[in-house]
Amino acid sequence: MEGITTLVATSIYNNLYPKTLSFFPGLLYLISACLLIVPLCIISISDYVVRSRRPEVSEGILNSRNDVIDEDNQSTSSS
């Protein structure tokens, strides 16, 4: 899939760039930046959902057994 996407994107970009060069040389780069907003939104929503359902992930303090470390008394809580 990645290989096919690369081939298709390359052919589209190589055909569109010369056509937009005369009136807006940076149009293709602007379109590319706008297309990257889609995965940015998906990743942001996914991150928000994970952090809201698992508060220990947002704390960022996990030991090797994935138990939350209690910062007040420095002991680990076992599940």
Which residues pair with residue 68 across a beta bridge? 62
2-13 pLDDT, tens digit each: 889 889 989 988
- In terms of pLDDT, which residue wins out, 79 or 26? 26
pLDDT of residue 71: 56
40-52 pLDDT, tens digit each: 999 999 988 888 8
Q: pTM for the complete prediction?
A: 0.53
- Strands (DSSP E) contained in the chain are 69-70, 75-76
The conformation of residue 36, written as its DSSP 8-state character, comes to: T
pLDDT of residue 1: 81
Element (H, E) at 63: none
50-74 pLDDT, tens digit each: 888 876 665 655 554 555 555 555 5
Q: In one letter, which amino acid is 10?
A: T
What are the φ and ψ backbone dihedral angles of 69, each rounded to 5 degrees?
A: -90, 130
